Amino acid sequence: MINKVLGRLKKSISIALLHFYPLAGRLATKIEQNPKSYLVFVDCNNSPGAKFIHAAVDMSVSDIVSPTYVPLVVQSFFDQDRAVNYDGHTKPLLSIQVTELVDGVFIAQGDNIKISRPPVLERWCPEGNNGPLLTLPFSHQDEFITRLETPHVLE
């Protein structure tokens, strides 16, 4: 049964990526010194693509949903746990993880929001503009990326 579900999911993701192919790319950076600029773009050619993971855990659905606090193991169900948008340079822009439980399946989807919401950007940045709308004064990603510590999950 699970093999049939996995096969159908993989096929449907492949079809969806035909329309949303940037999600199979990776972020790349181009830094210019004169004029100073820091350009982040999607490289669809030099990328291993979207990621599909099948995992299994010896737990039931009730083991996950019954406790008052979310079990710590649930973090492992998400391939992109604690990722920030800039991580798209080294992590997939789209990641699907299917975790097989004893009596069910948990499907997690993680994507880079900067890439997965292109219709908004198409309206916001019309075709034919000459260069970036705004040049920000950054020369290194550490100047604009902050990773927040998540609160400890109680079991």
- In the chain the domains, ranked by start, together with CATH numbers, are 2-126+135-143 (3.30.559.10)
104-112 — which CB contacts under 8 Å span 24+ positions? 104/60, 104/61, 105/2, 105/5, 106/64, 106/77, 107/9, 108/77, 108/78, 108/79, 110/78, 110/79, 110/80, 110/83, 111/23, 111/80, 112/23, 112/27, 112/85, 112/87, 112/88
pLDDT on residue 98:
94
Q: What confidence score (pLDDT) does residue 117 get?
A: 66
Residue 55's pLDDT is: 96
Q: Which residue has the higher pLDDT, 101 or 17?
A: 101
22-31, 32-41, 54-63: least confidently modelled range: 32-41
Is 112's pLDDT higher than 60? yes
Q: Kindly tell me if the per-residue pLDDT of 5 is higher than 80.
A: yes
Q: Is the predicted pLDDT of residue 133 greater than 80, yes or no? A: no
| Per-residue pLDDT reduced to its tens digit, 37-92 | 888 888 999 888 999 999 999 999 999 988 888 888 999 999 988 888 888 889 99
So what's the pLDDT on residue 52?
95
pLDDT value of position 120: 47
Confidence band, pLDDT 50/70/90 cuts, at residue 2: confident
Check pLDDT > 90 for residue 95: yes
In this prediction, residue 19 carries a pLDDT of 81
